[in-house]
Amino acid sequence: MGHTSTPPPTAGGLTATEHRLSNGLRVVLSEDHLTPVAAVCLWYDVGSRHEVEGRTGLAHLFEHLMFQGSAQVKGNGHFELVQNAGGSLNGTTSFERTNYFETMPAHQLELALWLEADRMGSLLAALDEESMENQRDVVKNERRQRYDNVPYGTAFEKLTAMVYPEGHPYHHTPIGSMADLDAASLEDARDFFRTYYAPNNAVLAVVGDIDPEQTLAWIEKYFGSIPAHDAKRPPRDGTLPDVIGEELRQVVREEVPSRALMAAYRLPHDGTREADAADLALTVLGGGESSRLHNRLVRRDRTAVTAGFGMLRLAGAPSMGWLDVKASGDAEVAAIEAAVDEELARFAAEGPTPAEMERAQALLEREWLDRLATVGGRADELCRYAVLFGDPQLALTAVDRVLQVTADEVREVAAARLRPDNRAVLVYEPTETTAPDIAADVADGATVSDSATNDDQEAAQ
């Protein structure tokens, strides 16, 4: 064991201790004896922002390959062993990280640790052309099902490419392009693994009904002999001006069930007080059926069937706020957009009311507490703050920081960022061949964030 840090005072009754193996693996433990379960979460500091031109989608493809067997676990064995032990598991890829996680009965914790260590240390022994081709096809099919062949499926991809210019590390989304997926070779995958899947590029969090001393002993036993790798290429600089400087606009004519207005704004970097203020602003404006935009567009004007505003938090580049409005009947996008601009201008001038601030802070507080209340959610947040901000303890005080933001700060960030010269706009116009039965998607309240903005999750078993 390299070293163990002393935990700070408890935050909301939750604690976490930090440790580091001699090979660089960071370990975060958090005891919770409420239920006899334990969560294992392993974050690798690699996502689509680390990819280079011509090889987009490699981070997500490799997430799938990690479930194709390792030296001592063949084929689909990782899924079988965890599920047969009563556990659940998955993996996701985003712009800024790739993670793998299991929630197990507490007495099966050692199995989960051994499985993660085996593929970290020996995946290359099992990686071959057959598994590469198998998962390449799975990822391409996932792209078809979730992006290319669903209404509005490529909207987030289009908005991202507009907000983050050509050559920027966040210009492309984690799913990657079909051409780049076809071009990826087995050697590309092996080089990717050697570069990024090393213990000194990872954080392991274990949360739940654990014995810390025994857990550390298992981690040392299974992970301690895996060698570090120091040839990691840092991600390209994601710095951009706070404001785009002009409105970018694109009209999309596709087989969609209704007209739609979608827009993306550059927002402050995650991990800042300004980002928390922006999150509160978007919650007041478009978070749920009590929000300003829902009340204006859906209830009062009746020009929309859904109206939402969400935030994609990013640490290595400006975050992104996305507006998603689906039109009602024959309502024109121009009328919807005029109403949106009116509400944004009023909010920038007046800010939130005390009641709106209380509601928005309560909503975000509840979301945070929901994540921290489960062993899997807490493990994920501990990893997130360790990888992206260098300090897992920040996860335990995030609620306090949201509650400290003032109404003036919320108004200021809205005035500075939610403006016409800082947005990319998509206007969807249905083609005449649009199938009427697709309209059920709109009635169900489907938005951009329902599919494309979520992390790409491992689905091939």
Residue by residue, DSSP assigns 310-353 as: EEE--SSS-EEEEEEEEEPTT--HHHHHHHHHHHHHHHHHH---
- Please tell me the predicted confidence (pLDDT) of residue 461: 38
State the number of CA atoms in the 13 A half-sphere of 207 facing the CB.
24
In terms of DSSP bridges, do strands 37-44 and 26-31 run parallel, antiparallel, or are they unpaired? Answer: unpaired
Q: Which tokens belong to 434? A: 């649009």
- Please tell me the predicted confidence (pLDDT) of residue 11: 52
Amino acid at 422: N
Mean pLDDT of the chain: 91
What does the alpha-carbon distance between residue 397 and residue 393 come to, in Å, rounded to a whole number? 7
For the whole model, what pTM was predicted?
Answer: 0.91
Q: What is the pLDDT of residues 347-386, one digit of tens each?
A: 999 999 999 999 999 999 999 999 999 999 999 999 999 9
Q: Mind telling me the catalytic residues? A: 63
What does the alpha-carbon distance between residue 334 and residue 350 come to, in Å, rounded to a whole number? 24
Tokens 């491992």 belong to: 458
Helical axes 58-65 vs 186-196, angle rounded to 10°: 90
DSSP code for 36: S
- Please tell me the predicted confidence (pLDDT) of residue 230: 87
3-state secondary structure 214-266: HHHHHHHHHHCCCCCCCCCCCCCCCCCCCCCCCCEEEEEEECCCCCEEEEEEE
The answer, yes or no, to whether residue 6 has pLDDT greater than 90, is no
Question: Among residues 55, 40, 347, which one has the least CA distance to residue 208?
Answer: 40
Task: Map residue 194 onto helix, strand or coil.
Answer: helix
DSSP code for 5: P
Q: What is the pLDDT of residues 185-237, one digit of tens each?
A: 999 999 999 999 999 999 999 999 999 999 999 999 999 999 999 888 888 89
The predicted model gives 408-427 an average pLDDT of 98
Tokens 């689906």 belong to: 326
Task: Specify the higher pLDDT residue, 177 or 391.
Answer: 391
Q: What is the pLDDT of residues 255-287, one digit of tens each?
A: 999 999 999 999 999 999 999 999 999 999 999
The answer, yes or no, to whether residue 444 has pLDDT greater than 60, is no
Beta strands in 8-163 (DSSP E): 17-20, 26-31, 37-44, 88-93, 98-105
- Please tell me the predicted confidence (pLDDT) of residue 456: 53
* Torsion angle (degrees, nearest 10) of CA 380, 381, 382, 385: 120
**Residue 313 · residue 275 · CB < 8 Å:** yes
Is 34 exposed, middle or buried, given 0-12, 13-18 or 19+ CB atoms closer than 10 A? exposed
Q: Of all helices (H) and strands (E), which one includes residue 16?
A: none
At 159, the pLDDT band (50, 70, 90 cuts) reads very high
